[in-house]
Amino acid sequence: MTLPLWPAPHVHFATIDTDIVLLDVARDRYDCLTDCAPWLTTDEDGRLLAGDTETAEALIDMGFASHAPPPPVRRAPLPQRELTIPVRSPRRALARALVAQATATAIFQKRSLLELIRFNPGRAVDPAFQDRAPVSETRLASLLSAARLARPWIPFEGECLQRAFQLRYYLARFGIATDWVFGVRTWPFSAHCWLQIGDMVVGDRLERVRRYTPIMTA
């Protein structure tokens, strides 16, 4: 007999072989439940299936699960392609990328993971680009080139979390919405995050992100 539960708000699960990785956004931490298939599994609709009452009660007591379904969860398509980014970019585009990413860095500092994913990148939209037609992949590649060239000049450069936030903020200035995807792998454990537009990886390598199992999309 299995007892159906739902992930608690701000808690996300990913199944990798016989392990389940848990991301608690509110606590900004990952946990891994190893070889848990006999007593806990996940369903395609996001539910948790506890093998017995004791397991179900423990998950609820720890704040990992609930009897009530959470709000609808966003899911990005599995990545299938990436952009080829040109080496050069116009100076004007480079200046815009520098200012936007420096601003994003200031916003990023001292904010928790929960605050970062709650941040609305739409507030970064530049009115000059607000009513613009959808950006072509050629134009997007040019913007990404400018962002990459500006990156060495940005102070307090961080890891993938900060770089993804910077890029998301920068692209939002042009009215370009992105999915912020978080992924995990095990043995050894590793976490990574990247941006996608549909099934296209933005600002990262397809080969790299495919090594990770998505656990959350913001």
Name the one residue in this structure whose structure tokens are 């997007």.
140
For the chain, give the mean pLDDT.
90
Instruction: Say if residue 183's pLDDT is above 70.
Output: yes
Q: What is the pLDDT of residues 191-200, one digit of tens each?
A: 999 999 999 9
**pLDDT tens digits along 112-138:** 999 999 998 776 666 655 545 567 898
Question: What pLDDT, on a 0 to 100 scale, did the predictor assign at position 107?
Answer: 93
Ranges 74-78, 96-100, 144-148, 181-185, most confident: 181-185
Q: Encode pLDDT of 142-157 as tens digits.
A: 999 999 989 888 877 7
Both tokens of residue 154? 């940005």
Query: Quick one: the chain helix, strand, coil %, rounded to 5?
Result: 35, 25, 40
User: Residue 68 corresponds to which amino acid?
Assistant: A
At 37-66, the pLDDT tens digits run 889 999 888 899 999 999 999 999 999 999
- pLDDT level of residue 205 (50, 70, 90 thresholds): very high
Percentage above 90 pLDDT, the chain: 68
Helix 91-108 × helix 137-150 angle, to 10°: 70
As a whole number of angstroms, the distance between CA 147 and CA 169 comes to 11
What value does the mean pLDDT take over residues 5-11?
93
Pairing of strands 213-217, 179-185: antiparallel
> What's the one-letter identity of residue 195?
L
For residue 217, pLDDT over 80 is answered with yes
CA distance 69 to 88: 48
- Going by C-beta distance under 8 Å and a sequence separation of 6 or more, which residues neighbour residue 53? 3
Looking at the DSSP bridge assignments, the partners of residue 195 are 180, 202
